[in-house]
Amino acid sequence: MTPLNESRASVTPAASTLQRRLDEGRFCVTAEVTPPVAADPADFIARALPLKGVAAAVNVTDGAGAKSHLASIAAAHFLVQNGIEPILQMTCRDRNRIALQSDLLGAVALGVRNVLILGGDDPKAGDQPEAKAVFDLDSRTLLAMAQKMRREHKLLPGTKIKGGFDLFLGAADLPTDPPPGWDAKGLKGKAESGADFIQTQFCMDIGVVRRYAARLVELGLAPRLKILIGIAPIPSVRSAHWMKEKLFGTIIPDAIVERIEKATDARAEGKRICIELLQQLAEIPGISGAHVMAPLNPSDVPEVIAASGVTTKQRAL
């Protein structure tokens, strides 16, 4: 298990381009694509290609919304084949530890090096509420298992893994406006279990991000643990209200909702806000990047990343 004050970069070479760029101090922006309900990957690839060379890596969701889609491991492989670095999302909901270990081996065999480990949405939230959830492992335990596999080259029973097995491991977090004495216990646990990077829920309040990041720096968690803040080019005031009220852990200031509501072109205003946030996030010590999500308006994502100019700047380590 990597100590909190020890960079993984000092232990092993970078497993992926994303890790290398983050270790170099580059501000990295990641994006997200949901696999289709289809066996033909053509549409999925077409939606992902505009992100090539724009986003540092692209998340492939795993049964998003507790609904069936093209398998995330297959979709991630299609990104690899098309020169796009994937971040494979892997949830605890659908597989036991035997299947999860097999999928991690399969992911590495298919050229996937970034894995974001999540609990997964409850099946009751999806379109097959009678489905049984597995949850053999929780996200912390799955992280620790993946950490054991990459550091010891062994499966849980001790079976040796042959060949290379390099992974850059991620986890999720909900940013918070830290109260006095906040110790980031959850993030510490994820770092101790093997997480190298964190992608957060939407947090569009730059003041909250500054205070959250400052406390993580004080605690020695950042920038060792690479923090990427979730943001969005919100396309409408209706979307802003839905995100604010329905998405657990989302932080959107009233001032942003009002800007979108008063704008002549709400979608254009949402993009301007996202660009501004990217530029501000790139200046905050302890923040290593951003994760831009826009399931309703994915074509806006490469536009706002490119317009922000943040991915071309080299920051001091």
Confidence of residue 111 (pLDDT cuts 50, 70, 90): very high
Note the pLDDT tens digit of each residue in 67-86. 899 999 999 999 999 999 99
Q: In whole angstroms, how far apart are CA 9 and each of 6, 13, 152?
A: 9, 6, 17
Average pLDDT, the chain: 93
What are the structural domain ranges in the chain? Answer: 8-312
Asked if residues 173 and 144 have their Cβ atoms less than 8 Å apart, the reply is: no
- Indicate if the pLDDT at residue 317 is higher than 70: no
Give, for 228, the enclosing helix (H) or strand (E). strand 226-231
Tokens 């969701």 — which residue? 61
* Cα 214 to Cα 194: distance, rounded to the nearest angstrom: 22
Confidence of residue 11 (pLDDT cuts 50, 70, 90): very low
Q: Counting beta carbons within 10 angstroms of the beta carbon of residue 234, is it exposed (0 to 12), middle (13 to 18) or buried (19 or more)?
A: buried
* Alpha-carbon torsion angle 149, 155, 159, 161, nearest 10: -40
Per-residue tokens: 75:
């979709």
- pTM reported for the whole predicted model: 0.94
Average pLDDT over residues 127-136: 92
Asked if residues 315 and 53 have their Cβ atoms less than 8 Å apart, the reply is: no
Note the pLDDT tens digit of each residue in 250-293. 999 999 999 999 999 999 999 999 999 999 999 999 999 999 99
Residue 264 gets the label, from left (phi > 0), alpha (psi -120 to 50) or beta, of: alpha
Note the pLDDT tens digit of each residue in 195-230. 999 999 999 999 999 999 999 999 999 999 999 999
Q: What is the CATH number of domain 8-312?
A: 3.20.20.220
Note the pLDDT tens digit of each residue in 13-61. 899 999 999 999 999 999 999 999 999 999 999 999 999 999 999 999 9
Asked if residues 198 and 170 have their Cβ atoms less than 8 Å apart, the reply is: yes
Note the pLDDT tens digit of each residue in 146-174. 999 999 999 999 999 999 999 999 999 99
Asked if residues 291 and 31 have their Cβ atoms less than 8 Å apart, the reply is: yes
